[in-house]
Amino acid sequence: MTVDWSHGGPDLLVSLDRDAGAIGIQIQDQLRAAIRERRLVSGERLPSTRRLAALLGVARGTIVEVYEQLLAEGYVLATVGSGTRVAAIPAPEEPAGRATPAIPAGSPRPIDFEYGIPDLRTVPLSDWSWAVSKATQTLTTAALGDDDPAGSRHLRDVASAYHRRVRAGSASTEDAVIVAGFRQGLTFALAALAQHGIHRIALEDPGPRDHDVIARRAGLEAVPVLVDADGLDVDRLRRTGARAVLLTPAHQCPTGVALGPSRRRELLGWAEEVDGIILEDDYDAEFRYDRQPVGSLHGLNPRRVIALGSVSKTLAPAIRLGWVLAPPRLRDGIIEEKRLSSRGAPGLDQEALALLMETGRFDRHLRRVRETYRARRDILAAEVDRAFGPGRLTGLAAGCHAVLQLPAGSSEREVAATAATMGVLVNTLGQYRFSAEATQADPLPPALVIGFGNVDEARIRDGIRILAAAEAAARRPGSAPPKPPHPPAA
């Protein structure tokens, strides 16, 4: 996208060798090169002749001649009232193999059942705008400097109180560290664990695939532990020799199961036995439909649990704010990691989020989208029952995704690939497995992970019908993918 600079835009870098002479030719050559190399792009406004002449310390007539020459050669366009702009010239040829396939004009937008994306159309931008405006009015001059390494005191007050009230946690303000989202918080927490002599961490299998990469980059060895109908298998965890475990106990990602009561007790017992740490990813705990909310593990033993939260699922990923609630012996290490690697999230945004939560606007938004997601979940369940038969959808009690169990003998990869040719994008359960070796050792039935947070009701209906057609086509080797029952809704 071309930036439409006003008033000619910022200064244009042109280096002149005044001893070499031919100043006009030098300026021409540099402007041509900038246009060819796409440092100046089609439609971009150039400075006025008067301004560029003043910037370079040359006569205005020299710049007039330069622009006239470039105009004659087709490098620029001159329009009364619009100034001089860069013309569209053919792009240089891309090296073989790097061309991006063109998307035919008028192609319908794919139905994307991507996991983990909230309904971006419901983000309360007017409330956020109010909160940012209020923050600029209330923040002191001193607060505009570097903040406390742990983050805004106001947001730490609010985040810890919110976790105590909504998630039955036990955190105080002093336990909280504000971070720029979940991944940053996890990175800092893992580095702090390594400093305390913990070098092996267990991860849920299936589970988010980038967690093992983050663990390795922090210097920890990551090992898989299978998830079953009651959540993480603690007996298997004991056999790994790990002293830390990262899990999603309230609504497991991606299977959707909740860690059962007996498993919760076993897990806390394991942590005491091995002097271990539980990292609790509380990513979508606010969205509950058919059962009472499951309390945070942090509230049961804050000495052994690091709770990680963010607003990526509840508000929007672009806001990029989160918190880490950590035991005192680990908190200082997390703060030091944050201090050395980044200054964290912008102070104004931290203050805005604190105001949004404290004034009830955040909770009002959650109540509204919870009902939206509930309605979409109900439509998803009804469509799956109709297209695939009852009992195929699991993980429905909470969150913004569910798991579609495919008929025995189906290839989840083939179904997903066929669906993509029909305009539906979906992840397979296999994409969340820890490794090929783990998959072979503990194979799971074929399934698809259906994210419905950012898909409206009409597209859910169309998408499930297309997935059913894709599954039927994938079971007929050699058959061409059928056309969708009707084009996906725009």
pLDDT in tens, 278-296: 999 987 777 877 666 778 9
Task: Provide the b/e sequence for 418-435 (b: ≥16 CB within 10 Å).
Answer: bbeebbbebbbbbbbbbe
Is residue 165 assigned to a domain?
A: yes
CATH of the domain at 251: 3.40.640.10
Is the four-CA dihedral 77, 79, 84, 88 of positive or negative sign? negative
Is residue 150 assigned to a domain?
A: yes
Q: What is the pLDDT of residue 101?
A: 36
Q: What is the pLDDT of residue 107?
A: 58
Total domains, the chain: 3
Q: How far apart are CA 295 and CA 167, in angstroms?
A: 5
Cβ contact 163:326 at 8 Å: no
Q: What is the pLDDT of residue 116?
A: 82
CATH of the domain at 74: 1.10.10.10
pLDDT at residue 94 greater than cutoff 60:
no
Is residue 451 assigned to a domain?
A: yes
Residue in the structure block whose two tokens are 């359960």:
429
Q: What is the pLDDT of residue 123?
A: 94
Q: How far apart are CA 335 and CA 355, in angstroms?
A: 23
pLDDT at residue 267 greater than cutoff 70:
yes
pLDDT at residue 224 greater than cutoff 80:
yes
Rg of the Cα trace of the chain?
28
Is residue 139 assigned to a domain?
A: yes
Which comes out higher in pLDDT, residue 445 or 345? Answer: 445
Count helices and strands in the chain by DSSP H and E runs: 15, 16
Instruction: Rank 10-14, 92-96, 415-419 by mean pLDDT and report only the highest.
Output: 415-419
Q: What is the pLDDT of residue 128?
A: 96
pLDDT at residue 486 greater than cutoff 60:
no
Q: Which domain holds residue 323?
A: 123-359
Q: What mean pLDDT comes out for the span 154-182?
A: 93
Q: What is the pLDDT of residue 106?
A: 53
CATH of the domain at 375: 3.90.1150.10
Q: How far apart are CA 295 and CA 66, in angstroms?
A: 70
Residue 30 corresponds to which tokens in the numbers above? 């540099």
Q: What pLDDT band is residue 480 in, cutting at 50, 70 and 90?
A: low
Phi, psi of 216 (to 5 degrees): -65, -40
Is the four-CA dihedral 180, 354, 307, 289 of positive or negative sign? negative
Q: What is the pLDDT of residue 306?
A: 97
Which comes out higher in pLDDT, residue 221 or 17? Answer: 221
Q: What pLDDT band is residue 484 in, cutting at 50, 70 and 90?
A: low
Residue in the structure block whose two tokens are 């006003």:
6
Q: What is the pLDDT of residue 97?
A: 40
Is residue 232 assigned to a domain?
A: yes
72 and 134 share one domain: no
Is residue 305 assigned to a domain?
A: yes
Helix (H) or strand (E) holding 324: strand 322-325
